[in-house]
Amino acid sequence: MGCGVILDGYLFLWFALYIRAETQNHSRSGRTGSFRADESRCDEPESPMTKTLRNDRRNVAIIAHVDHGKTTLVDAMLKQTGSVATYKDLEERVMDNTDLEKEKGITILAKNTAIRWGDTKINIIDTPGHADFGGEVERGLAMVDGVLLLVDASEGPLPQTRFVLRKALEANLSVILVINKIDRPDARIAEVIDEVYELFIDLDATEEQIDFPIIYSVARDGIATMDLEVPGTDLTPMFDLILEKISPPSFDDEHPLQAHVTNLDASPYLGRLAICRIHQGTIKKDQIISHCRVDGSIVQAKITELYITEGLERITASEASAGEIIAVAGMPDVTIGETVADQDDARPLPTIRIDEPSLSATIGINTSPLTGLDGKKLTARMIKDRLESELVGNVSINILPSDRPDSWIFQGRGELQLAVLVETMRREGFEMTVGKPEVVTKMIDGKLHEPMERLAVDINEEHLGTVTQLLAHRKGKMVNMVNHGQGRVRMDFIIPARGLIGFHNEFVVETRGAGLAHHVFEGYERWQGEMRSRPTGSLVADRRGVTTTYSLLSAQERGQLFIPVATEVYEGMIVGENPRPQDMDLNMVKAKKQTNMRSAGADKAEHLDTHKELTLEQALEFMMDGECLEVTPNFVRIRKIVLDQNKRGRATGAKKLAAV
């Protein structure tokens, strides 16, 4: 299967694109109004400043769907270029250096490294592949001139592939397509390339953008090749292709300093570090600069330290010029999107545009009877300060005040992003209450709109009917279905974002763990109407105490338990799942009465079923209206917002009466 075979696969697509481009050119020639205004701007005389290319630098981001091999490819690049002192003891996915990233096996924060190939330094940005961390991708793209688009040779382009590619095309970045994992037995390389071309056309790519080079790789083994008939031995073809196809940084010789703050870091000695891409000019250590803030104000600051990246290390530098990615200290209140400019000629760069959040949840102090027994950071002030500090380094979230002084509204991209923040805070010693995630709606033309997601599921054929029915109940609309003839079916849906809350658990159960599901934000549409929530109810403890074997033996007959023996519970705490839609209050602390009388069944053995311990993400999905999470450093408990069962009963009765 050589390049000739692949070319035959997308020849028709190329011809169609050409016809469409010609049609667009003819139609544009007759347009008036705004388009002509844009044309007139293009005809303005160029600046007298001279454009200079910095050929000794390349800035490239690696973008892809989750688990398509981005971080693994960076590992191979570092090893083969000798960018680390020794790689024998280099751990896998070295760029995933936080505890959460290592545990979950995903990239959460965008990070940069640098390698040298010949006389050229290549700055590499490793970006997350999960849709919830799209803000990190958008920041990473602001630092580079081109991207490596990784696509799995079997799975092909998935929802996040569409998202990251759209951002790259909007930024007019050079694209190199990397077909990764070509050694998979189920690889379908020609079909995947066709799907990528279709994706480019669907995203309205220009003729120049769609003329991208293609390279094939096995990132795990550190090999790449331009021709499938010639097996690769190392990553040399990829490095050469980067130097050839990725545009070098350009700058104006006479333009004053302009550097864009795209990320933040912290040092225990220097305080806040600003990660910047220098667009114009030169910056030096101890230089006085203009700090252009997001609020429009400009203040003077001194660059106390200047760092550049070599391999995995930051090294001190005396100066850096246009095209370089640097870290600087000296601006204690700097934030993302601001500009480091010349002292005498401050010209701020445009702020980084980030997609709006689509999910919200309330975070407040812990109000359960067990508060203060586990964590050390309990007060509203501590939680507020921590949430505000998160805003500094994460531009994709919002923190808004609620109607209560001891809680705040978190707005982000998805449940995983919320779970990562809460998990980070609990590891720092916080206790808090987290409300049920809800979607962020907006009014458009006086009508209620809600966020929609593009969902891709990959399942076995036998689960086709079950999954289709599951998504139909959640207002999902199928837009595409592909059967590759290998017993697996790929389906694409457009579904309300609220339909995905609690979906993952059901999906895993229905597909017996064999299904794959990925989603990405699609846009806003009219409110889709009422939607069924979780079809099951909750088992609720009716008093405080410690669970016993005797009480759990009777409780497990009612449903699936979430807690083991000797667990402290309190009234209103959810201890399990009721298969019926109603809630059920149970005595979880009763003990067997002692007697000196023998019974016929005294020697009968009774066994407790294994309880289901929910993770933080599963607990967030499990919650229903009227429920929330109690999160402490060592425990995640689901509870009712109103703990007293009598008050809950009266509230439920009043709600039913009002509905009549």
Residue 630 has pLDDT above 90, yes or no: yes
Residue-wise pLDDT for 244-264, tens only, equals: 999 898 888 888 999 988 887
First-residue to last-residue Cα distance in the chain: 67
Residue 24: which pLDDT band, with cuts at 50, 70 and 90?
A: very low
Give pTM, 2 decimals.
0.71
Compute the average pLDDT of residues 394-423. 84
Taking residue 316's Cβ as centre, other Cβ atoms within 10 Å add up to 9
pLDDT of 639 reads 93
**Residues whose CB falls within 8 Å of the CB of residue 20, separated by 6 or more in sequence, listed in order:** 201
Whether the Cβ atoms of residue 328 and residue 307 lie closer than 8 Å to each other: yes
Among the ranges given (19-23, 251-255, 385-389, 519-523), the one the predictor scored with the smallest mean pLDDT: 19-23
Phi and psi (nearest 5°) for 195?
A: -65, -35
| The residue type at 280 | Q
User: What integer pLDDT is reported at residue 432 of this predicted model?
Assistant: 93
The band of 42, judged by pLDDT with boundaries at 50, 70 and 90, is very low
Instruction: Tell me the pLDDT of the chain averaged across its residues.
Output: 80
**Residue 553 and residue 557: Cα distance in Å, rounded?**
7
Residue 531's pLDDT is what? 79
Percent of the chain with pLDDT over 90: 22
- Gyration radius of the chain's alpha carbons: 28
Query: What is the pLDDT confidence band of residue 383, given thresholds at 50, 70 and 90?
Result: very high
At residue 613, what is the residue type? Answer: E
Helix (H, G, I), strand (E, B) or coil at 412: strand
